């Protein structure tokens, strides 16, 4: 009987570890999808990654509360078109996941290349994202995205003048 109980405890522990690993993978993919959708100007797809009451705050431009307000904010960004680049590479994830509670916190670094040929704009940037996540209807969503810009500089002037 003790052997059976030990095996059941081991199975439960392995199931918990498997869930944590799956949650980690899903959260990395979620944040990567956000970066990709922003890169391509797919504002509606980016907004759909947020929880129903999710928030977005980037560079002190205000806090947008709720998926619909996040969508409105994103649609105010420049239109993606030929000659435009909005690369936001999501790097160095540090995730703290509570799989049982369906919540997580994450820190990411993003290296940005922003350019619009028609406006003759070319910029480098780097930011830190301090985000929270929630499992909503069985799917991980962004509960809060808080982007802190560490620097922005003009491409032709160099990083040292940013």
* Mean pLDDT of all residues in 36-42: 92
The candidate with the shortest Cα–Cα distance to 95, out of 58, 128, 126, 132, is: 132
- 84-98: strand order across its sheet: 63-65, 50-58, 139-154, 121-136, 103-116, 84-98
pLDDT tens-place string over residues 140-160: 999 999 999 998 888 888 777
Q: Which residues of 44-73 are buried (b: 16+ CB within 10 A; e: fewer)?
A: eebbebbbeebbbbbeeeeebebbebbbeb
Cα–Cα distance measured from residue 140 to residue 23, given in angstroms and rounded to the nearest whole number: 8
pLDDT tens-place string over residues 81-120: 888 888 889 999 999 999 999 999 999 999 999 888 877 8
């Amino acid at each position: 009987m003790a052997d059976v109980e030990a095996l059941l405890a081991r199975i439960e522990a392995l199931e918990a570890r498997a869930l944590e690993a799956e949650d980690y993978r899903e959260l990395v993919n979620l944040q990567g999808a956000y970066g990709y959708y922003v890169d391509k100007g797919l504002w509606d797809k980016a907004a759909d990654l947020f929880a129903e009451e999710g928030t977005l705050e980037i560079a002190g431009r205000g806090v947008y509360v709720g998926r619909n307000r996040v969508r409105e904010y994103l649609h105010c960004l420049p239109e993606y078109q030929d000659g435009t680049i909005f690369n936001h590479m999501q790097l160095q994830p540090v995730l703290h996941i509570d799989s049982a509670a369906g919540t997580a916190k994450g820190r990411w670094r993003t290296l940005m290349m922003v350019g619009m040929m028609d406006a003759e704009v070319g910029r480098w940037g780097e930011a830190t994202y301090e985000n929270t996540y929630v499992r909503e209807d069985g799917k991980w969503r962004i509960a809060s995205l808080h982007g802190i810009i560490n620097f922005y500089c003009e491409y032709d002037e160099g990083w040292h003048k940013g």
